[in-house]
Amino acid sequence: QVQLVESGGGLVQAGGSLRLSCRASGRTFSTLTMAWFRQAPDKERDIIAAVSWSGGSTYYADSVKGRFAISRDDAKNTVYLQMNSLRPDDTAVYFCAARRQSVVMSNPDQYNYWGQGTQVTVSS
């Protein structure tokens, strides 16, 4: 079993930055593909970014390319999401997720473990 704990959410003005962190425990972190999803009210949970367990492959949704960056620190069992140039439509609950396979997938059903989520609110 893997436990994921997110931190770093909050309220920020448009154009600002936040960095989310997700710390994993319970399984060798280096064998987990990690991802960030987000879900706004009355909307589906969509993938934002993902990084393979080797760190050699990343994925970004078109809506965040050039603004967000995902990274992982296997020594700290932590994955990060650096979010820059934030916009009001980035407002959502952000979830960390992990899957046991090495391939990055965009479907949330392909992820085995989830964090509790952290709220990000961007004011205009």
- pLDDT, residue 26, reads 82
Is the per-residue pLDDT at 99 higher than 90?
Answer: yes
Q: How many residues does the chain have?
A: 124
Q: pLDDT digit string (tens) for 56-84?
A: 799 999 999 999 999 999 999 999 999 99
Strand-pair partners of 98: 34, 113
How confident is the model at residue 37, as a pLDDT?
Answer: 98
pLDDT tens digit sequence for 22-34: 999 987 899 999 9
Residue 5's pLDDT band, with cuts at 50, 70 and 90, is very high
The pLDDT value given to residue 54 = 77
The pLDDT-based confidence of 14 (bands split at 50, 70, 90) is very high
Q: pLDDT > 70: what percent of the chain? A: 100
Q: What are 91's two structure tokens?
A: 């407002």
- pLDDT for position 58: 93
Interatomic CA distance for residues 1 and 68, integer angstroms = 29
